[in-house]
Amino acid sequence: MILLEKVLARGSGLAVLDLGFGAGLLARRIRPACRYLAGVELDPEAAQEGARFFDQPVVGDLLDGISGPFRERFDVIVAGDVLEHLPRPEDLLSALRPLLKTDGVLLLSLPNIANATVRFGLLFGRFGYARRGILDRTHLRFFTQATGRALLEGNGYRVVSVDATAMPLELAVPALGRPPLAGLARAAALSAARLWPTLLGYQFVYEARPT
């Protein structure tokens, strides 16, 4: 998980804000590296499970939740699969900027609407929403690698790096998620995403700093 790796690469003793923390899947793995871990989650049922990993869990709307007050500014703010659910993601980005330390980073992931599966569907006139994935029916905004970067740069951030994640082939072909094929399928999907990120990347993970 690229977001996890990037948080842990920042070292220990971190102050981290995790937006949309859900059941705490990320939080439980970064907890040992955090001296202060805050989070905001809209879904009260998910928050009930994830809250135990946080020093300051907030249940409610993101924009309201990040108003704090927090006890300090953050080394890292994580927004994994969050912005595509907002009608005005630029409002959240602007509100997050003053919460970051001068050397802090914003880590966010966005689904790649230009993925080959979506392009192929469009060739046949299909743009069907689904329960999950790139065309999750709760998504309000759609992004390519370029428009994700433009969103950040237009709202006071400098993009440091962009990484493409592998397509989850096992969702389409369950056998690819089981031994002996799982490792090979995952490696092949990751290599493809790195070679052709705009076509075969499933998500883009951006690391950005406030300007």
Is a pLDDT exceeding 90 seen at residue 172? no
Average pLDDT, the chain: 92
- Structure token pair of residue 167: 């397509």
Is a pLDDT exceeding 90 seen at residue 182? no
Write out pLDDT tens, residues 34-77: 999 999 999 999 899 999 999 999 999 999 999 889 999 999 99
Inter-CA distances, 170 with 26, 78, 94, 179, 188, Å: 21, 26, 37, 11, 12
- Structure token pair of residue 53: 């990993």
Whether this prediction's pTM lies above 0.75 is answered by yes
Is a pLDDT exceeding 90 seen at residue 81? yes
- Specify the 3-state DSSP secondary structure of 103: strand
- Structure token pair of residue 186: 């995952």
Is a pLDDT exceeding 70 seen at residue 181? no
d(CA 124, CA 118) in angstroms, rounded, equals 10
Confidence band for 151, pLDDT divided at 50, 70 and 90: very high
Is a pLDDT exceeding 80 seen at residue 189? no
Asked if 84 and 143 count as a contact pair (C-beta separation under 8 A), the reply is: yes
Q: What is the mean pLDDT of residues 108-136?
A: 93
Residues counted in the chain: 211
Q: What is the mean pLDDT of residues 106-134?
A: 94
Q: How many of the other CB atoms lie within 10 Å of CB of 188?
A: 15
Peptide bond into 69 cis (omega under 30): yes
d(CA 24, CA 78) in angstroms, rounded, equals 12
Report the pLDDT value the prediction gives residue 150, as an integer from 0 to 100.
98
d(CA 59, CA 168) in angstroms, rounded, equals 30
Report the pLDDT value the prediction gives residue 169, as an integer from 0 to 100.
66
Confidence band for 103, pLDDT divided at 50, 70 and 90: very high
